[in-house]
Protein backbone atom coordinates (compact mmCIF):
# COMPACT_ATOMS: atom_id res chain seq x y z
CA UNK A 1 0.00 0.00 0.00
CA UNK A 2 1.47 3.33 -1.09
CA UNK A 3 1.39 6.18 1.40
CA UNK A 4 -0.53 9.33 0.47
CA UNK A 5 1.87 12.04 -0.67
CA UNK A 6 1.29 14.13 2.47
CA UNK A 7 2.94 11.51 4.71
CA UNK A 8 6.41 10.05 4.99
CA UNK A 9 8.26 7.65 7.30
CA UNK A 10 11.46 8.86 8.95
CA UNK A 11 13.49 8.38 12.13
CA UNK A 12 12.47 10.09 15.36
CA UNK A 13 14.20 13.36 16.27
CA UNK A 14 14.32 15.29 19.59
CA UNK A 15 11.98 17.92 18.18
CA UNK A 16 9.28 15.23 17.97
CA UNK A 17 9.13 14.36 21.67
CA UNK A 18 6.41 16.77 22.80
CA UNK A 19 4.07 15.91 19.92
CA UNK A 20 4.59 12.17 20.46
CA UNK A 21 3.70 12.57 24.12
CA UNK A 22 0.43 14.26 23.18
CA UNK A 23 -0.49 11.55 20.67
CA UNK A 24 0.27 8.93 23.29
CA UNK A 25 -2.01 10.72 25.76
CA UNK A 26 -4.90 10.52 23.27
CA UNK A 27 -4.29 6.94 22.12
CA UNK A 28 -3.68 5.54 25.63
CA UNK A 29 -5.88 7.72 27.88
CA UNK A 30 -5.55 5.34 30.85
CA UNK A 31 -1.74 5.17 30.78
CA UNK A 32 1.00 7.66 31.56
CA UNK A 33 2.27 9.03 28.22
CA UNK A 34 5.91 8.84 27.21
CA UNK A 35 7.99 11.66 28.63
CA UNK A 36 10.62 13.57 26.70
CA UNK A 37 13.24 11.96 28.93
CA UNK A 38 12.05 8.43 28.05
CA UNK A 39 11.96 9.20 24.35
CA UNK A 40 15.45 10.66 24.59
CA UNK A 41 16.61 7.39 26.16
CA UNK A 42 15.13 5.41 23.28
CA UNK A 43 16.87 7.71 20.83
CA UNK A 44 20.23 7.27 22.56
CA UNK A 45 20.19 3.48 22.93
CA UNK A 46 18.87 2.60 19.46
CA UNK A 47 18.25 5.63 17.22
CA UNK A 48 17.78 3.62 14.02
CA UNK A 49 14.92 1.69 15.62
CA UNK A 50 12.62 4.63 16.45
CA UNK A 51 10.36 5.44 13.50
CA UNK A 52 7.96 8.31 12.96
CA UNK A 53 5.18 8.86 10.46
CA UNK A 54 5.30 12.54 9.59
CA UNK A 55 2.47 14.68 8.24
CA UNK A 56 4.52 16.57 5.68
CA UNK A 57 2.39 19.77 5.41
CA UNK A 58 2.78 20.42 9.16
CA UNK A 59 6.14 18.65 9.64
CA UNK A 60 4.62 16.99 12.72
CA UNK A 61 4.80 13.34 13.82
CA UNK A 62 1.41 11.65 13.71
CA UNK A 63 2.44 8.04 14.35
CA UNK A 64 5.35 6.05 15.74
CA UNK A 65 6.87 2.58 15.89
CA UNK A 66 9.43 2.09 18.68
CA UNK A 67 11.76 -0.93 18.67
CA UNK A 68 14.80 -2.40 20.40
CA UNK A 69 16.94 -5.49 19.92
CA UNK A 70 16.78 -8.32 22.44
CA UNK A 71 17.81 -11.95 22.84
CA UNK A 72 14.48 -13.65 23.46
CA UNK A 73 16.16 -16.58 25.24
CA UNK A 74 16.83 -14.14 28.10
CA UNK A 75 13.08 -13.76 28.62
CA UNK A 76 9.95 -15.87 28.88
CA UNK A 77 7.12 -15.84 26.36
CA UNK A 78 4.75 -14.73 29.13
CA UNK A 79 6.83 -11.71 30.14
CA UNK A 80 4.97 -8.41 30.26
CA UNK A 81 5.74 -5.28 28.24
CA UNK A 82 7.37 -3.69 31.31
CA UNK A 83 9.83 -6.58 31.54
CA UNK A 84 10.69 -6.65 27.83
CA UNK A 85 11.30 -2.88 27.72
CA UNK A 86 12.96 -2.47 31.16
CA UNK A 87 10.02 -0.40 32.33
CA UNK A 88 9.76 1.52 29.08
CA UNK A 89 13.38 2.75 29.22
CA UNK A 90 14.76 0.34 26.56
CA UNK A 91 17.89 0.04 28.71
CA UNK A 92 17.82 -3.70 28.04
CA UNK A 93 18.55 -3.12 24.35
CA UNK A 94 21.11 -5.70 23.21
CA UNK A 95 23.16 -4.48 20.21
CA UNK A 96 23.74 -8.08 19.12
CA UNK A 97 20.29 -9.44 19.96
CA UNK A 98 18.87 -11.40 16.98
CA UNK A 99 15.25 -10.34 17.62
CA UNK A 100 13.78 -6.91 16.97
CA UNK A 101 11.13 -6.26 19.59
CA UNK A 102 8.29 -4.02 18.46
CA UNK A 103 7.67 -2.20 21.71
CA UNK A 104 4.95 0.17 20.55
CA UNK A 105 3.15 1.34 17.44
CA UNK A 106 0.37 3.91 17.44
CA UNK A 107 -1.14 6.52 15.13
CA UNK A 108 -3.02 9.69 15.98
CA UNK A 109 -6.80 9.17 15.59
CA UNK A 110 -6.84 12.22 13.31
CA UNK A 111 -4.55 10.45 10.84
CA UNK A 112 -5.72 6.85 10.89
CA UNK A 113 -6.96 4.90 7.84
CA UNK A 114 -4.12 6.16 5.62
CA UNK A 115 -1.91 3.07 5.89
CA UNK A 116 0.48 4.66 8.40
CA UNK A 117 0.64 1.67 10.77
CA UNK A 118 1.34 -0.61 7.82
CA UNK A 119 4.07 1.71 6.53
CA UNK A 120 5.65 1.95 9.98
CA UNK A 121 5.70 -1.84 10.24
CA UNK A 122 7.24 -2.09 6.78
CA UNK A 123 9.99 0.25 8.00
CA UNK A 124 10.73 -1.99 10.97
CA UNK A 125 10.77 -5.08 8.76
CA UNK A 126 13.26 -3.24 6.58
CA UNK A 127 15.42 -2.73 9.66
CA UNK A 128 15.25 -6.47 10.42
CA UNK A 129 16.53 -7.19 6.92
CA UNK A 130 19.14 -4.41 6.95
CA UNK A 131 20.65 -5.57 10.25
CA UNK A 132 20.32 -9.25 9.29
CA UNK A 133 18.14 -10.06 12.29
CA UNK A 134 16.20 -13.28 12.57
CA UNK A 135 12.77 -11.88 13.32
CA UNK A 136 10.57 -9.23 14.87
CA UNK A 137 8.41 -10.03 17.89
CA UNK A 138 5.59 -7.97 19.38
CA UNK A 139 2.46 -8.11 21.46
CA UNK A 140 -0.97 -7.55 19.95
CA UNK A 141 -3.80 -6.20 22.09
CA UNK A 142 -7.13 -8.01 21.77
CA UNK A 143 -9.65 -5.18 22.18
CA UNK A 144 -12.53 -7.31 20.97
CA UNK A 145 -12.02 -9.97 23.60
CA UNK A 146 -13.63 -8.33 26.63
CA UNK A 147 -17.07 -8.58 24.97
CA UNK A 148 -16.86 -12.39 24.94
CA UNK A 149 -14.44 -13.08 27.80
CA UNK A 150 -17.23 -14.42 29.98
CA UNK A 151 -18.11 -17.19 27.55
CA UNK A 152 -14.91 -17.86 25.60
CA UNK A 153 -11.31 -18.63 26.57
CA UNK A 154 -8.65 -16.34 25.16
CA UNK A 155 -6.92 -19.08 23.19
CA UNK A 156 -10.21 -20.00 21.50
CA UNK A 157 -10.82 -16.33 20.68
CA UNK A 158 -7.36 -16.02 19.13
CA UNK A 159 -7.81 -19.23 17.11
CA UNK A 160 -11.05 -17.88 15.64
CA UNK A 161 -9.40 -14.57 14.74
CA UNK A 162 -6.51 -16.41 13.07
CA UNK A 163 -8.98 -18.63 11.18
CA UNK A 164 -10.85 -15.55 9.97
CA UNK A 165 -14.17 -16.54 11.52
CA UNK A 166 -13.92 -13.66 14.01
CA UNK A 167 -12.49 -10.16 13.66
CA UNK A 168 -10.47 -8.32 16.29
CA UNK A 169 -9.79 -4.60 15.70
CA UNK A 170 -6.05 -4.97 16.36
CA UNK A 171 -5.02 -8.60 15.91
CA UNK A 172 -6.84 -8.96 12.58
CA UNK A 173 -4.93 -5.96 11.27
CA UNK A 174 -1.62 -7.49 12.39
CA UNK A 175 -2.43 -10.77 10.68
CA UNK A 176 -3.30 -8.94 7.47
CA UNK A 177 0.07 -7.20 7.80
CA UNK A 178 1.97 -10.49 7.72
CA UNK A 179 2.42 -11.25 11.42
CA UNK A 180 1.93 -14.77 12.83
CA UNK A 181 0.52 -15.61 16.25
CA UNK A 182 2.80 -17.47 18.68
CA UNK A 183 0.33 -17.73 21.58
CA UNK A 184 -2.02 -15.66 23.77
CA UNK A 185 -0.68 -14.39 27.10
CA UNK A 186 -2.29 -12.77 30.13
CA UNK A 187 -0.99 -9.59 31.74
CA UNK A 188 1.15 -8.34 28.85
CA UNK A 189 -0.27 -4.86 29.39
CA UNK A 190 -1.68 -3.63 32.68
CA UNK A 191 -5.18 -2.16 32.88
CA UNK A 192 -6.13 -3.13 29.32
CA UNK A 193 -9.83 -3.52 30.09
CA UNK A 194 -10.86 -3.83 26.44
CA UNK A 195 -8.61 -6.88 26.08
CA UNK A 196 -9.47 -8.29 29.53
CA UNK A 197 -5.70 -7.96 30.08
CA UNK A 198 -4.97 -10.54 27.37
CA UNK A 199 -2.71 -10.13 24.34
CA UNK A 200 -1.20 -12.32 21.64
CA UNK A 201 2.52 -12.73 21.12
CA UNK A 202 3.12 -12.22 17.40
CA UNK A 203 6.19 -12.50 15.19
CA UNK A 204 7.47 -11.91 11.68
CA UNK A 205 10.38 -14.12 10.64
CA UNK A 206 13.05 -12.88 8.22
CA UNK A 207 13.04 -15.47 5.40
CA UNK A 208 16.67 -14.68 4.55
CA UNK A 209 18.15 -15.38 7.98
CA UNK A 210 18.42 -18.81 9.67
CA UNK A 211 17.37 -18.92 13.33
CA UNK A 212 19.97 -18.58 16.08
CA UNK A 213 20.66 -21.63 18.28
CA UNK A 214 18.28 -20.44 21.00
CA UNK A 215 15.47 -19.89 18.49
CA UNK A 216 12.59 -21.33 20.54
CA UNK A 217 10.34 -18.88 22.39
CA UNK A 218 10.10 -20.12 25.96
* 64, part of any domain: yes
**Residue 31's pLDDT is what?**
82
* 218, part of any domain: no
Question: How would you write the pLDDT of the chain (218 residues) with one tens digit per residue?
Answer: 689 999 999 999 999 999 999 999 999 888 889 999 999 999 999 999 999 999 999 999 999 999 999 998 888 888 999 999 999 999 999 999 999 999 999 999 999 999 999 999 999 999 999 999 999 999 999 999 999 999 999 999 999 999 999 999 999 999 998 999 999 999 998 778 899 999 999 999 999 887 776 665 44
Among 201, 197, 206, 200, residue whose Cα is nearest residue 217: 201
Domain count, the chain: 1
Query: Could you give the CA distance from residue 73 to residue 121 in angstroms, rounded to a whole number?
Result: 23
**Residue 215's pLDDT is what?**
63
Domain with 127, as residue range(s), is 7-205
The string of DSSP letters for 47-102 reads GGGEEEEEETTTTEEEEEEEEEEE-GGGS-TT--HHHHTTTTT-TT--TT-SEEEE
Vertex 111 angle, CA 114 and 138, to 5°: 75
The CATH number of whichever domain residue 160 belongs to comes to: 3.40.630.30
* 192, part of any domain: yes
* 212, part of any domain: no
Q: Which residues contact 213 (CB under 8 A, 6 or more apart)?
A: none
Query: Could you give the CA distance from residue 99 to residue 137 in angstroms, rounded to a whole number?
Result: 7
**Residue 183's pLDDT is what?**
94
* 2, part of any domain: no
pTM of this structure: 0.90
* 211, part of any domain: no
Helix (H/G/I), strand (E/B), else coil: 126: helix
Number of residues that make up the chain:
218
Q: Which residues of 98-108 are buried (b: 16+ CB within 10 A; e: fewer)?
A: bbbbbbbbbbb
* 210, part of any domain: no
Amino acid sequence: MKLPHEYRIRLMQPADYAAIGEICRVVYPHDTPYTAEELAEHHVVYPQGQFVAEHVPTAQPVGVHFTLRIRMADYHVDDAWDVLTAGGTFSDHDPVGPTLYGADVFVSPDHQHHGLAHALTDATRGLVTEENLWRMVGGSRLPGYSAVAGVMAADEYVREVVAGSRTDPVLSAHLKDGWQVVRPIHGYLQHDVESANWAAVIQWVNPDRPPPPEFALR
